[in-house]
Structure formats: C-alpha cells, structure tokens
Chains A and B, each alone.
Chain A
Amino acid sequence: MIDIPELALVALVGISGSGKSTFARDHFAPTQVLSSDYFRGLVADDENDQSASADAFDVLHYVAGKRLKAGRLTVVDATNLQSHARAGLVKVAREHDVLPVAIVLDVPEALAWERTQGRPDRTFGRQVLTRMHRDLRRSLGQLAREGFRKVHVLRGPDEIAGATFRYEKLFNDKRELTGPFDIIGDVHGCHAELVELLTTLGYAVTADNAVHPEGRTAVFVGDLVDRGPDSPGVLRLVMGMVKAGTALCVPGNHEQKLARKLNGRTVQLTHGLPETLAQLEEQTPEFVQDVRTFIDGLVSHYVLDDGRLVVAHAGLKEPYHGRASGRVRSFALYGGTTGETDEYGLPVRYPWARDYRGSAAVVYGHTPTPVPEWINNTICLDTGCVFGGKLTALRWPSRELVSVPAAKEYYAPARPLVPAEPRPDDSLDLADVTGRRHLDYGYGRTTVAAENAAAALEVMSRFALDPRTLVWLPPTMAPCSTASVEGYLEHPSTAFADMRGAGVTTVVCEEKHMGSRAVVRVSRDGSGDAIWTRTGRPFFDSARNDALLDRVRAAAVSAGVLDEGGLLLDTELLPWSAKAGGLIRERYASVGAAGRAALPAALSVVERASARGLDVAALHDRLALRSQEVSDFSDSYRIYAQPAEVTIAPFAVLAAPGVSHKDKDHGWHLGIADKLVEADRTLFTPTRRMVVDLSDPAAEQAATQWWLDLTAGGGEGMVVKPYAGLGATDAKGRLVQPGVKCRGREYLRIIYGPEYTRPEQLERLRQRNLGRKRGLALREHGLGLAALDRLAEGAALWRVHELVFAILAAESEPVDPRL
C-alpha cells in the first residue's frame, strides 16, 4: 500500500526495463503520466533520440508546471537516475508548492536486460544497463536529501505488481465542510470578550467547549495568545472546541513562537509572550503539554466550503491555496513582507490583498484594523481587541459581521490602529479601477471585465468630471415585461405585474420625462457643485452650467431644502433636444424628411401607372400605409424638438454627507421635488405621479387610463417604482428593481421604427429578451446605492470611485439599446 498526497509530483525512478511505463499505465490515467520517451518523440520525432533529451525535459517540466499550477497530480515516467534530472523535478514541484514523491522500481539487472532485449527500439549494450543500475543504487540514499518528501521503494517484480495506492488528502483540504461558519478574529488572550462574542453568536459556552444549537462551526484565525489577560483560558476553550469538533483553528505567528519556546528553542521574549508564559506558569504541566501538542498539530490554513472560503492567519495569495510548503506556511503565518521596516520598526507588509483576484474569499487576521473591510474578496478580522478595539466574527456564508467591544485596552499598540492600507484620501490609483476586478458592494457581488474597465477608463479620464465630484451615476432602467395586450409592446398591466411579482404592494407611477438624465449636486457654498450626464460628463460649457447651478442653489435655499451637507438630486433635464439636438436632427428628423419626400413621390408614380390601367393596387396600399406610419413617426419626434427653455425635473434626493436617503419613500422624495418646483416654476418641471395600491384593481385601472392619456399625444410614458423608495427589497432582503419603465405606443416608434406596430413586427419584437438588461439595471442600482452608502460614511475617495467606475464599466456591456 503506497500513500501519496492527492496533489503531488510523483517521480518514478528505475533503470531501463524496470517496468516504469507499465506501472504508470496500471495505476494512473494516461494524461497524468508525462513520459520522457513521449516528450523526446514530441520534440524530435524519435523517442530514443538522446540528443533531444534536454529539450524534451524542458517541455516536460513546462507541462508538469502547468498541471501542478492547476492542482493536478502528475507522474513523471523517466529513469530519473541522475540527481540533476531529479533536481529539475523537485524545482518544478517547489515552484508550485506541491510535495515531490519518489517511487523507486528496483528490479534485478538481469530481468531488466531480458526485457530490454525484447524491445527492438532499445539498442544500447549491457554495460549501459550496468551503469544505470549503479546509479540507482547510489540514488537510493540520496532521494530524501534531495527534497523528496516521501520515498517508496518497490523491490522485485512481485512487489511492483502487487502495489496499490491510497490517496491522502492534504491536511488543509477541508472543502467538504460547508459550515455554516463563524470565523473569529485575533483573540490575544481576551477570554471574556471571546465568551461574550460566542454567546452573542448563539453558542452555549462552557470552560472548555462552546456548542451552537444549529451546528455552526467556529473558525479561529489564530493569535489566540499573548498580550491579553487570559491566554490559558482562551486556549482551554478553543482546544476543547477543536477537540469536540465545534471549531477549527489555524495557527498565528504568536502560537508559532509560543510553541518554539515551549519546545525549548530560544526566542525573544517580546510582543506579549512573557505575559502568556507567566499565565502558563500557573497551569498544570499536563495542560502546557496539551498546548504544545495542540499548536504542533495546527495546519497553516484551511480551504473550506467547496473551495469558496480560505482561512489563514495572515492571509494567503491565490497560488498558495491548498498547497503545502515552507513558504506557504510562512506566508500564512506572517504574510508577505516587502523587507522594509516602518517608522515603528515593524516590518512593512506586502499588500497582497490589493493584488488578490481569486474567486475564493480569504478571511484572515494578523493586522489590527479599526473596521473590517472587504478588499478584493478578502477581509481582515483583527479589530485589535487586546488594544481596546473589538473582537469580530464573520458569519459565513451570510458575510455578516458581528463584534463585541473590548472591556479595556489590555496592551498598548506599537503603532496606532489604522486601516490595513492607509491611502491618501483623494488620490486614485489605476489599480483601483483597471483589470478584471471583483467587487463586493454589500448589495451583491460583481466582476468587472477587464475590457469594460478599459473602455470606462477612457471615458472617465478623458470626458468625465473630477471623481471627487462624480459620486454617483444613475443606473440604467429596464422596461416592464413585454405586454401581450393587442397593439402594445409595453403596457401598465405588465409593469404592475412585475412589481407585484417582486413582492411590492404599493407603487408610485411617475411621468417619464423625455429629456436627458441629469445628476445635480449643489451645496450652500457652491463647492463641488456640478450637473452631469449618465456617463459623468458635464452638460454644457462651464458658464452655462454655473448659471444653471446658481439658479438651482437659489431655489433650494428659498425652498428651505438645502441644509449644511448639500443636495444630490436625480433629475431629468428637459427638453431632450438640449443635449440630443444633434441626434434628433441627424437621426430622427432626417429619416422623417426622407420618408415624407420619398413616399409621396413613389405614390405619384404608382398612381400614374394605375391611371394607365396597370394593376398596382396592392403596392399602392403598402406605400400608403408606410406613408401614414412615417407621418406618425414624424409626430413622435417633433414634439421633442420644440423650441424650449432648459428646465429640470427632479424626482429623487439621493444623499448628502452623512446620510443616504435610500430608505425614504417616494412621497418624501417627490415632496422635496415639489418644494423646488414651487420655489422656481420656470427652472423646475413638476413630475406628475399616481400612487397605486397593487391590491386594488380599480386603482390599477385608473393608473392605466392615466398612462393612456399621458401617452396618447406621444408622451414617453411612465416609470413604476416601489413606493418604499430606492432601497426597497423583496421578502428575502434582495434589492428589487428601483423602477421599470412603461413607454407609450407612439413614443416607441422612434425606438423601434415607424412600422413597429404592424402585427407581424410586434409579434417578432415580443420575443425580445429582457434578462440581460434587468440584470444590468439591478447591478448598477446596487453599485450606486453602495456608492451613496460609502459617501454617507465618509469613505475614502477611491472606495466611492471604484463603484462609480464599475457602473460606467457596466454600461460597456452589449445590451440591446432599444430596451
């Protein structure tokens, strides 16, 4: 029985004719076996061309490296009799933090010679085999020293034929454990706080165990000991829990050092170790012995929950997940360092989390930080309890943070507690926004594709406003589900059904102004005031912007709605032609002009032909219909091209420093909008609206009639929003669409073309797919809400900007522009 790790680099060692290939074939899948003969053939068309060996091994090592990187067991079928050949394999294994294993096939030289002679492609003489055999004898004693962690020697053909394998999982592989978990940050001897935290989390705590009634598992990120008042108490509890199976624990650097001390090694008595040693003095020798055994048995990190979660004391970069080597252990215990020290004499840590792009969440401790923050799907839970901070737990998979405050400062920190990566407040780094990025924004998670980020970077840096100003971008809005009402593509009935389906009971229907979405930011002192488009660009030249903003500010002051923090408004800027004048002229009016000139000319030709007695009645009817459609189409865009002053229709108040208004209902939002309208009726356009109780068919009927009246004259339609406000959620607590648009029948001509109302075209358009648009709308909405939350918290610029940037990047996704 041969035990090998599930992930290993297995080197077969044996002379020519020892049966390596047969052995490999019997025990491993063909793709797992890399044979030097095969690679010689690959590079030289001849498996026996020894002059090609160097190149063949290059390629073999390269392929082995790719397999190991991907975590696949790899077997190398070569003689591997020379130490330099084996050194190459050990190197590849180490590069990927995989254990090298040697399996030696030791057969009598005579048997090997007999087999070799039976193979027509082997032409070397007996003396070659003799030399090989001598090399093998010499090798046997060297393998372990060369770095092979396991060496199995199979002697004679019988032992070789009878061999069986057993695969061992790596100790860190606990993917089968799916929790739920409560991952607990650095305790440092704070026993009272630990008991309180466990109790808060719902555990029944005794001196040496804690059990959760729902079978939850606690996971300790290490640094249980040192500095704090009761390290033995913490150890007793955690050791008991691990023994009882109610907890897992990875070692911290403090456990490591304690174990070295207990094992009789010389260590510096600093960083709170003396306190622990003194406390252990009062414990029984048996307990101290248990502690030693416990720490020695700890595994550097765990991969949990089907690979979705990795716990390590100081974090772990992605290539090290599930690997075992000295440097993996060292990284897990101490983190990467840059080799420099800071002004407090402490090592400067390598910010691996900033570069982390893995899909597994990495939860760790080690570096005290005031507030745990997700950075690229990693989070540090050390909230400096022993320094008077908090003891924090992360609930998995819900990702909820639970913490209890420290009773006091037990130990003075060597350096003040600062966020893991202190950043100048208003400088932005390219790495904050570019490349493929994972974002966990609190309302969900998303991945920004690198190419979308590249497109957004160009817009953001060439055309958009200063990121300090640009704190929010409006999300795209999905249309309501496609209607089956005859003659209509969109209809209120499906808009209401959509909202009802999302668990919304009351909606507000707001008139959809046909203009350009505009975000307006004003403050009392005028600093940072701006008005910007959906893509973050200023609307007009700065003089015109300023004049407009002055009027908004004056109106807001006189309406009494501009308090200290300022006002961030979501609005529509009218008329549409103010920004889209070129589009209306070049696209819509051009098509209309061409149609209105071409169709009468064609009709006249057909009529003259008809007068000559030709049968063109059907053609005439089709042209006449087209002519009518073009006329309707022209009416649809003409109403947006009337000469008009610029006005603003506000409909939501987003946030101010210190407060996000996402929980206010739309009655509140529209109330502020109404006050602005009252204050300046020429600057602001009111938004007509109707609140509808979705359980009342009569109210729904009335709203439908209202929509029909609104759109009969070509009005764009309405937006149906959950009355509860921007932060409305469904029964499961997930965000619902902040609104769905329901566009008028005539208006849609300028979107779908003059002829879209023909039954066969409508039928085709009803196949439109809304899924992508809806997903995008919801994601952008969540990102925007998160940006408002962070703005309200006073978060660093880059934390707001990365979300705003992600909204812009999402806009690069290909979505049917007609939706």
Chain B
Amino acid sequence: MLLTVTTTHRPATDLGYLLVKHPDRTHAFDVPTGTAHVLFPDAADDRCTAALLLEVDPQRLGGGRQQAAPDSFTLGQFVNDRPYAASSLLASALAKVFRSALRGESRDRPELAGTPIPLEIHVPVLRCKGDPAELFEPLGWTATARPIPLDDVPDDHPLAGNSVYVDLTLTGTLRLADALNHLYVLLPVLDDAKHYWVAPDEIDKLLRAGSGWLADHPAKVLIARRYLAHRRSLAASALDQLTPDRSDTVDVAEDAAPDEEAELPVVRKQPLAEQRRDAVLAALADSGATRVLDLGCGGGALLGALLKDKRYTEIVGTDVSSRALDLAHKRLHLDRLPERQQGRIKVWQSALTYRDDRLKGFDAAVLMEVIEHVDLPRLPALEESVFGHARPATVIVTTPNAEYNVLYEGLTGMRHSDHRFEWSRADFSAWADRTAAAHGYRVALHGVGESDESLGSPTQMAVFTREDS
C-alpha cells in the first residue's frame, strides 16, 4: 500500500528536510505489520515526491492481539486487501515514520514547517466508505476520487461495476503537518475498519491529531465514531472533550441499538414503537394477567416496561437469538437488579417452532412484532407451540399492517430486512380467526397508531382469549 506526497514549492527538495528523509537515499523502517519504505521517485527543484510504501507481511497480520479476536477464525484473516489498500495500517506507519513532521517540527526548516505550501497527495488504492470530498474539502483540499473497477469486464458480467476502492488525489496549499494529520485521521475513517483493538487511549491520539481542525469539522461526529471504531462511549467522550459545552452537540448515544423503525422515515410524532408498547401493556392489564411471557423479547424493550409494573409477579422473556438475550440482560441490568426484582424476571432461549414445556402455565403471552419474522410455512409450528402447547389464557399478537406501507415515503418492499411477510388487515384477520378456532380461543382485533381512513393503522394487534378461561 502506498501514498505519495508531492510539492512544487521551490526548492521542492526541501520536502526532504520537512520529512527528515534524505531524497537521495532509501529509508526502511520496521513497523508491527511489515516494513515501511520511504523513497523519492522525483527530487527536482520544481517538483519533489516522497513515497511511503508499506510492505505488509501477511504472516504478521494474523498474530498478536488479533488472534484473540472473536472472529479470528474467518477466512478474511488469510485473504484480505490489507497488503494493497491504504488503511489504518498505513496511517500507523505514517505516524511512526514521519513523527516530527506530524508535529510540525523541523530542525532545518522551522519556518517552512509552519508555512502552507502547494501539496499533492496521491493514494492509489483507498478502501473508501462514503465521499472523500466531504471529509477533505472542508479542510481546504480539492479531492478527486476515481473509482477503481472491480475487474476489466463487460457491463453484464458478474464482476462488472466498481470496487469499494478509489484512487484518491488531494491538492491544496496547506502546512505539511496539517496534511499529514488529516491523512492520519481520515484514512482509517474512510476505510472504517481498524486493524487493532480500539482502546481508550485512542481518544487522546484522535484529539492530538485533530487539534486545530477537528472541532470545527462539519463531519466531526462521523469522524469520531468511525475513528473510535463505533465504540459509542469512546466517541461520546471524545466529542465531549472536543466541545466542552455540549449543549449544541449531537447526543451520540441516541442511536443505541437500531430499532426496527429506525429504518423507516419518521411520519408521526410519538414513535410507533412506543404506541405499540402502550397498546400491548393496556391489553395485558385488561386481561388481568400477573404471570406473563414475552415471546421473542429481543433486546427487552417490553420486558423493561413490565418490570416497572408491580402487578406482574412473574415475567419471562424468551428469544431464539443468544445475542438478543445478552442485550436484554445488559439493558435491563438483570444481574444488578434488587433481589425482589430479580426473582420476578427471567430470560431464556427458546424457539417458537418447538414446543417448550417451560412456557406452560402462564396467564398471558405477548408476541410483539414476532410472527412476521417467521417463515410462513413454519407459522403452524408456532401456532401449535403457543396456542396448542403453552396455552396461556391470553395471547397478544402484533404485526405490521402492509396496507399502511404506502404512507411511508421512500419505503420499497417490507419494513425490515428480516420480515418474511407483512399482512393486510384481511390477511391478519383471516389468520387470527383460523388460529383462534383451531385452538379454542376467541379473538378481538385492534389497530395501533394513528389510523388512516382507508388504509387502517400502521400496526395491527390481535388479543386472543382462551375459551375456557
């Protein structure tokens, strides 16, 4: 992987002084991922180019701390673009090789180090997520990003189209130190994948390299988040330090675990998720249940509300996803609850397509936005396990109303990528009637959310009551 820095400042060979590298020699440095070479392909008075070429040793990539990473057992460890594309590896090498230049220090040309000079930066292969211009142009660069095609093939070939890489050229008149700091921060940000574990000391590195430009950068939130590898607490702390008065900053925590509706354009004031939760809670309260199941509890949004309500003496959340259960555990602070609370709530892994004896004997079960995540052919198995086997006195089911989707501007297809189906009111009603009849339940249907005259409500809810209850 490679980047070149060119100046046309005269004498251009002063670049060698600023970088503390003699243009007439080759320089090699051992870095953790291989060997970093600095050499000068051009070194004339009117134009001088320094190249930083990182020769990655693939055998070193797998080693060290990475070995312990949870996904270290993936093929990506052995076949990847790290030896070729500019990334955080190159940024690390840059910081090591041009340390004093990054700090704006120069023993031989102190004045020049503080002076903007005409520069051209070339990164022939940069893995690039987003538009580099948005990150570089506010800093005084003119950015040209030429997409690199995936292969040299006709348009209808499976390998046609652009790759995720661009050939990036930046031109501008800037202090060399600023230029290098911009690259140090923004190369990994554009790549959006760090080659090492991001520890809290990365905040300091970011603040140091970003000093003087990051605080006013329009994309500073994005930069901080990506630089800190999406560790929200770190990004928040970095932004805090960037702007001591946070009243006008974005709350970084608000994107905590994407809700399904986050993918939807906002059309109403009270979030639909809240309205739905309220509707479910009201129906549950009406049923008089005290021992309740939240089947498909996900991250535990409903469980949290149930826990706050003292009428529920036993609350069980189940989900098939261990990840969701871990999240619920964390969000509800299950291991830190007061003892009495701890005795009220449990979360288990269970799958609704299998019968589960542990789910028998409860007053009510909630399936909130769950059935549409089950393949239609498997739905009878869910009906059998919930209505046939567990048989709580009350079952509350919510699911999207597909008719309403036309009101979501820009929504094509279904509301969530994992939805296996979305039903019209007629579809849902037919299913509810059939299921109720087959298992000895009565059913009442409700709309949830602001209702449209002809299309109905965004969410539909069925409340099933066991005949003998």
Interface residues in chain A, defined as those with a beta carbon under 8 Å from any beta carbon in chain B: 427-434, 454-455, 457-458, 460-462, 465-466, 577, 581, 584-595, 597-599, 601-602, 604-606, 608-609, 612, 614-616, 619, 622-623, 626, 630, 634, 638, 641-643, 750-755, 761, 764, 814-818
Which segment of B161-169, B195-203, B409-417 sits at the interface?
Answer: B161-169
Q: Is the CB of B1 within 8 A of A593?
A: no
Q: How far is the CA of A455 from the CA of B320 in the complex (A)?
A: 9
Interface size class of B (residues with CB under 8 A): 35 or more
Given A588-B79, A590-B150, A619-B37, also A595-B84 (CB < 8 A): yes
Q: How far is the CA of A517 from the CA of B292 in the complex (A)?
A: 43
Interface residues in chain B, defined as those with a beta carbon under 8 Å from any beta carbon in chain A: 1-2, 4, 24-26, 37, 39-43, 51, 53, 55, 58-59, 73-76, 78-81, 83-85, 124-125, 127, 148-151, 156-159, 163-165, 167, 320-322, 349-357, 373-374, 377-378, 381, 384, 389
> Which residues from chain B contact A814 at a C-beta distance below 8 Å?
73
Residue among B55, B80, B150, B353 making CB contact with A593, cutoff 8 Å: B150
Most buried by A among B43, B124, B350: B124
Can you sample 19 A-B contacts with CB below 8 Å? Answer: A427-B384, A430-B356, A434-B349, A462-B374, A590-B164, A591-B80, A591-B84, A594-B148, A595-B84, A602-B124, A612-B24, A612-B40, A638-B151, A638-B159, A641-B157, A761-B59, A816-B73, A817-B74, A818-B78
> Which residues from chain B contact A598 at a C-beta distance below 8 Å?
1-2, 84-85, 124-125
Residue among B26, B75, B378 making CB contact with A751, cutoff 8 Å: B75
> Which residues from chain B contact A461 at a C-beta distance below 8 Å?
320, 351-354, 378
A461 to chain B: closest residue by CB: B351
Distance in angstroms from A425 CB to nearest chain B CB is: 13
Q: Is the CB of A622 within 8 A of B75?
A: no
Q: How far is the CA of A642 from the CA of B159 in the complex (A)?
A: 8
> Which residues from chain B contact A641 at a C-beta distance below 8 Å?
157-159
Q: How far is the CA of A814 from the CA of B163 in the complex (A)?
A: 31
Which A-B residue pairs are the 8 nearest by beta carbons? A608-B41, A461-B351, A601-B124, A598-B84, A594-B84, A593-B163, A598-B125, A594-B81
Task: Give 19 A-B pairs besides A466-B378, A616-B39 with Cβ atoms closer than 8 angstroms.
Answer: A428-B355, A429-B354, A433-B354, A458-B321, A462-B374, A584-B158, A586-B164, A587-B75, A587-B80, A592-B151, A594-B127, A595-B81, A598-B124, A599-B84, A604-B41, A605-B39, A638-B159, A817-B75, A818-B78
Q: Is the CB of A597 within 8 A of B148?
A: yes
> Which residues from chain B contact A619 at a C-beta distance below 8 Å?
26, 37, 53, 55
How many A-B residue pairs have C-beta atoms within 8 angstroms? Tell me. 180
Most buried by A among B53, B84, B356: B84
Residue among A458, A465, A643, A818 making CB contact with B322, cutoff 8 Å: A458
Q: How far is the CA of A646 from the CA of B314 in the complex (A)?
A: 53
Given A466-B378, A605-B2, A609-B41, also A589-B81 (CB < 8 A): no
Q: Main secondary structure on chain B at its contact with chain A? A: mixed
Distance in angstroms from B387 CB to nearest chain A CB is: 13
A586 to chain B: closest residue by CB: B164
Given A585-B159, A587-B75, A612-B40, also A755-B165 (CB < 8 A): no
Given A430-B351, A590-B164, A614-B24, also A458-B320 (CB < 8 A): yes
Q: Is the CB of B55 within 8 A of A622?
A: yes
Q: How far is the CA of A208 from the CA of B125 in the complex (A)?
A: 91
Distance in angstroms from A579 CB to nearest chain B CB is: 12
Q: Is the CB of B39 within 8 A of A609?
A: yes
A755 to chain B: closest residue by CB: B58
Residue among A587, A612, A623, A755 making CB contact with B41, cutoff 8 Å: A612
B35 to chain A: closest residue by CB: A619
B42 to chain A: closest residue by CB: A608
Distance in angstroms from B36 CB to nearest chain A CB is: 12
Residue among B4, B41, B350, B351 making CB contact with A460, cutoff 8 Å: B351
Given A458-B322, A598-B124, A608-B42, also A590-B81 (CB < 8 A): yes
B85 to chain A: closest residue by CB: A594
Residue among A634, A642, A752 making CB contact with B78, cutoff 8 Å: A752
